[in-house]
Amino acid sequence: MAVVELDGVTKKFGDVVAVDAVNLAVNDGEFMVFVGPSGCGKSTTLRMVAGLEDTTAGSIRIGARDVTALQPKDRNVAMVFQNYALYAHKSVYQNLGFGLQVRGTPKSEIDAQVRKAAAMLGIDDLLDRKPKQLSGGQKQRVALGRALVRDPDVFLLDEPLSNLDAKMRVRMREEIAKLHAATGSSMIYVTHDQIEAMTLGDRIAVMRDGRVQQVGPPLEIYDMPANVFVASFIGSPEMNLIEGELRQSGKAIKFTCDGFSTAVPAGIKAPKAGSRAVIVGIRPEHLSYAKTARAGFAAEVELVEQMGAQTLLLCTAGSAQLRALVERDDKVRSGARIRLQAAAANVHIFDPETSKSLLPGQRAGGAN
């Protein structure tokens, strides 16, 4: 186990800046997830920690050592890849023990480590099989076991579940979470799947265009997104974002756009001159049926998606298009006129020029 520190880490490919001055610390024993869309720099950042990519600028420390210029073999990290990278001609036992064999580890110790890892991952009955005889989930367990037997300071996992079907992804998420709990090891995990990020990470680093947008615990990022990008990327269904204006309405301040208005959280300052352009964000699950005929706002249902325990409504309210995730409703139909409401405390306000949150006390969460 070890702390991992990135100080101004930058990677350029020619004139293209893939990773832009990232500053980040992964705590000892922490499960850190890098999440973001394809091309945001998350895998490149991980590969620089592993030593598979050179840094253009900045430094990387693992524990007490500056590893920026060290070869991968000298960093004491173990990496699990998307494509498993197993040796097709070797058995599961041989795949698990190969790294230790290369190090010159005694056979008795290799055997003990391999069998311990296999038992922990539930693959001890597969040790004599070849990779072609394994399912995708079994191959991923072998890849995890190969990393585990090395007893690294840090586990690095690069989209390890992307080749699995949906059901197996859920099971393997559970296996990786159990592995982290059992070993207490520092782990850095890369994914484009925000559900994986939310369910696995002690903290999440949301990345875009090579820069860290926000760092924090999953629910903090969900509840207090630092900017429009984080708000839209984290959450499924994604947050409703509506352009409009803040206006003084009696003693209250309201957000309005054509045919739609809502109260805003306490602490939002009144516009200096009549109105102020803003972007409002409301998560679909924070919209509900209005309790009275005068509460909330009118909306027309365009599409109904039954999701079992919940119903997703695609609605229009004036010029705004909204998704509302309500409790199961078997009766609602397309074309229905309904009234929706959102509690002011669940409304997010963003500056349209900077895209940053305008909520009082909102933390940037480590954005750099």
Q: Is residue 361 part of a domain?
A: no
Res. 294 pLDDT band, cuts 50 70 90: confident
CATH of the domain at 254: 2.40.50.140
Tens-place pLDDT, residues 301-351 = 999 999 999 999 999 998 889 999 999 999 999 999 999 999 888 999 999
Tens-place pLDDT, residues 199-232 = 999 999 999 999 999 999 999 999 999 999 999 9
Shared domain check, 177 and 161 = yes
Shared domain check, 251 and 187 = no
Q: Is residue 358 part of a domain?
A: no
Contacts with 269 (C-beta within 8 Å, 6 or more apart), sequence order: 253
Shared domain check, 344 and 197 = no
Tell me the residue length of the chain.
368
- For residue 216, the model assigns a pLDDT of 97
- For residue 267, the model assigns a pLDDT of 77
Q: Which residues form the domain of 48?
A: 4-233
- For residue 361, the model assigns a pLDDT of 67
The greatest distance separating any two alpha carbons of the chain, rounded to the nearest whole angstrom, comes to 80
- pTM of the prediction? 0.90
Tens-place pLDDT, residues 25-34 = 999 999 999 9
Comparing CA positions, the residue from 285, 272, 278 lying closest to residue 353 is 278
CA angle 194, 197, 199 (to 5 degrees): 110
CATH of the domain at 28: 3.40.50.300
Shared domain check, 205 and 106 = yes
At 25, list the tokens: 């610390």
Q: How many CA atoms lie within 13 A of 235 on its CB side?
A: 25
Shared domain check, 162 and 100 = yes
Instruction: State how far the Cα of 331 lies from the Cα of 196, in Å rounded to an integer.
Output: 33
Q: Is residue 363 part of a domain?
A: no
Shared domain check, 179 and 63 = yes
Our CA dihedral for 84, 87, 91, 97, rounded to 10 degrees, sits at -80
Which residue, of 176, 209, 233, is where some domain finishes? 233
Phi/psi-derived region of residue 36, left when phi > 0, alpha when psi is between -120 and 50, beta in every other case: left
Instruction: State how far the Cα of 207 lies from the Cα of 42, in Å rounded to an integer.
Output: 7
Shared domain check, 155 and 90 = yes
Which residue, of 233, 249, 268, is where some domain finishes? 233
Res. 368 pLDDT band, cuts 50 70 90: low
Q: Is residue 95 part of a domain?
A: yes
Report, as an integer, the average pLDDT of 166-181. 90
Shared domain check, 116 and 49 = yes
Shared domain check, 266 and 180 = no
> Is it the case that residue 68 has pLDDT exceeding 70?
yes
Q: Is residue 82 part of a domain?
A: yes
Q: Is residue 44 part of a domain?
A: yes
Shared domain check, 212 and 86 = yes
Mean per-residue pLDDT of the chain? 91
> Is it the case that residue 260 has pLDDT exceeding 90?
no
Percent of the chain's residues with pLDDT above 70 = 97
Q: Is residue 287 part of a domain?
A: yes
- For residue 256, the model assigns a pLDDT of 86
Percent of the chain's residues with pLDDT above 90 = 71
Q: 104 vs 101, 154, 268, 307, CA distance in Å? A: 5, 21, 64, 55
CB–CB of 323/315 below 8 Å? yes
Q: Is residue 165 part of a domain?
A: yes
Res. 273 pLDDT band, cuts 50 70 90: low
Shared domain check, 213 and 78 = yes
Number of domains the chain contains: 2
In degrees rounded to 5, what are phi and psi of residue 218? -55, -45
Which residue, of 203, 233, 263, is where some domain finishes? 233
Shared domain check, 267 and 178 = no
